[in-house]
Chains A and B, each alone.
Chain A
Amino acid sequence: GAVVSQHPSRVICKSGTSVKIECRSLDFQATTMFWYRQFPKQSLMLMATSNEGSKATYEQGVEKDKFLINHASLTLSTLTVTSAHPEDSSFYICSASPTSGRAHEQFFGPGTRLTVL
């Protein structure tokens, strides 16, 4: 149980285009989902906290107009990288916190590798 999927697993796009990444909790409901970004050889950096039915909370330094987050249901959150540039190339990872789980519990997705040419 507690499986989180991401789609796509890899995406290559041209500079200036937008890319949407989906994060799904497959066998549980998640009121809260988190989006992280990880550059090579570095740690996970939290970008934003996504709550179902409300606006996402962004971490300091993360542009909310560039990284659009939508959490329309208890099993799906999407991250859209708008007008992507090469510096946005990174590994994007989501996690989901079960609605009825233990406090602070997070299950991570497999990540999405974004390459912007």
Chain B
Amino acid sequence: GESVGLHLPTLSVQEGDNSIINCAYSNSASDYFIWYKQESGKGPQFIIDIRSNMDKRQGQRVTVLLNKTVKHLSLQIAATQPGDSAVYFCAENTGANSKLTFGKGITLSVRP
């Protein structure tokens, strides 16, 4: 079946560097995408979202890029900080209802 997946299970970056977390999705009908951050033992925390009619959206220190041609989503974190260490999930919505399908998750580890 169709699914949302991530390329890498872990990512280690130096504090202050930029981080790029990638996500591949396979459902071409998806029209809304979200990035979540989950710290250990907590629920997911909304980071940023993007609709399929856009290819880029910026927030505070974060940027989401959407490439519908290759069904690829990425999250860029500028000047990565120790507090950014967490598991990051992408999620997609097909528009039929509010149901979200989550990707597998990637652990971001920030080295001091």
Contacts and interface: CB of A to CB of B under 8 A. Distances in A.
Contacts of B34: 104
A93 interface: yes
Contacts of B99: 34, 46, 49
Interface stretch (B36-44, B62-70, B72-80): B36-44
Contacts of A109: 43
Which one of B32, B43, B98, B103 has the highest number of Cβ atoms from chain A below 10 Å of its Cβ?
Answer: B43
A103 B97 CA distance: 8
B41 A104 contact: no
Interface in B79-100: 89, 93, 95, 97-100
Contacts of A75: none
- Contact-size category for B: 20 to 34
Contact of A42 (B46, B98, B105): B105
B98 A104 contact: yes
Interface in B13-63: 32, 34, 36, 41-46
A32 B41 CA distance: 24
Task: Tell me the dominant secondary structure on chain B's binding face.
Answer: loop
30 contacts: A4-B43, A32-B98, A34-B98, A34-B100, A42-B104, A42-B105, A43-B103, A43-B104, A43-B105, A44-B89, A46-B99, A49-B97, A49-B98, A93-B43, A93-B44, A97-B98, A103-B98, A104-B32, A104-B93, A104-B95, A104-B98, A104-B100, A106-B98, A107-B46, A108-B46, A109-B43, A110-B43, A111-B41, A111-B42, A111-B43
Interface of B: 32, 34, 36, 41-46, 89, 93, 95, 97-105
A108 B97 contact: no
Contacts of B36: 108
The 8 closest A-B pairs by CB, nearest first: A108-B43, A44-B102, A43-B102, A104-B93, A108-B44, A111-B43, A110-B43, A97-B98
